Chain A
Amino acid sequence: MTRLALLLTLAFAAAIALPLVAPGYLVDVGMLVFFLAFIGQSWNISGGFAGQTSFGHAVFFGTGAYTSTILQITFGWNPWLAWPAAMLAGAIVGWFIAVLSFRAGLRGSYFALITLAFAEAFRILANSLSFTHAGLGMLIKADPRPANFQFKDPIWFYYLALALCIVSLLIAWQLTCGRLGARLVAVRENEDAARALGIDVFAEKVKALSLAGAIAAAGGTFYAQKYLYIDPNIAFGVDKSIEMLLVTMVGGAGTIFGPLLGALALTGINEATRTLASIVPAFKNVQPLSLIVYGVMLILIVGRLPDGLARLFRRVDRHA
Chain B
Amino acid sequence: MLDPGILFAGVLNGLLAGGVYVLVAVGLTLIYGVLHIINFAHGSLLMLAMYAVFFLWRLTGMDPYAALPIVIGGAFAFGYILYRLVIGRLSYGRDENILLITLGVSIVIDNVALLIFGGDTQTIETPYASSFVELGAALLPLPKIISFAASLLLCIVLGLFLARSDTGKAIRAVARERQGARLVGIDVDNIFALSYGIGIACLGAAACLLMPTYYVTPSSGHAFVLVAFTIVVLGGMGSFAGAAVGGLVIGVIESLGGLLLGEQLGQIGISAVFILILLLKPSGLFGARQ
Contacts and interface: CB of A to CB of B under 8 A. Distances in A.
Contacts of B97: 302-303, 306
A128 B282 contact: no
Contact of A285 (B95, B107, B115): B115
A266 to B, nearest CB: 12
A291 interface: yes
Interface stretch (A104-112, A152-160, A256-264): A104-112
A225 to B, nearest CB: 27
A286 interface: yes
Greatest chain A CB density within 10 A among B108, B114, B262 is at: B108
Contacts of A124: 264-265, 267-268, 271
> Which label, helix, strand, loop or mixed, suits the secondary structure of the B interface?
helix
Contacts of A105: 282
A44 to B, nearest CB: 14
B239 to A, nearest CB: 16
Nearest to A296: B108
A108 B271 contact: no
A156 to B, nearest CB: 34
Contact of B278 (A110, A291, A299): A110
Contact of A117 (B90, B104, B112, B271): B271
B111 A110 contact: no
A101 interface: yes
Greatest chain B CB density within 10 A among A116, A292, A303 is at: A303
A58 to B, nearest CB: 13
Nearest to B226: A120
Contact of A302 (B100, B229, B233, B275): B100
Given A101-B279, A104-B280, A128-B264, A109 B115 contact: no
Give the size range of B's interface with the partner: 35 or more
A238 interface: yes
B139 interface: no
Given A100-B279, A106-B278, A128-B265, A298 B104 contact: yes
Interface of B: 38, 86, 89-91, 94-101, 103-108, 110-112, 114-115, 118, 222, 226, 229-230, 233, 262, 264-265, 267-268, 270-272, 274-275, 278-280, 282
Given A117-B226, A118-B275, A249-B100, 14 more contacts: A104-B280, A105-B282, A108-B96, A108-B99, A113-B38, A120-B271, A121-B272, A125-B265, A128-B264, A135-B264, A289-B115, A298-B101, A299-B104, A302-B100
Interface of A: 53, 55, 100-101, 104-106, 108-110, 112-114, 116-118, 120-121, 124-125, 127-128, 134-135, 238, 242, 245-246, 249, 285-289, 291-292, 294-296, 298-299, 302-304, 306
16 contacts: A53-B99, A108-B95, A109-B38, A113-B274, A117-B230, A118-B275, A124-B265, A135-B264, A238-B222, A289-B115, A292-B115, A295-B104, A298-B101, A302-B100, A302-B101, A303-B90
The 5 closest A-B pairs by CB, nearest first: A303-B90, A295-B107, A288-B111, A299-B104, A295-B108
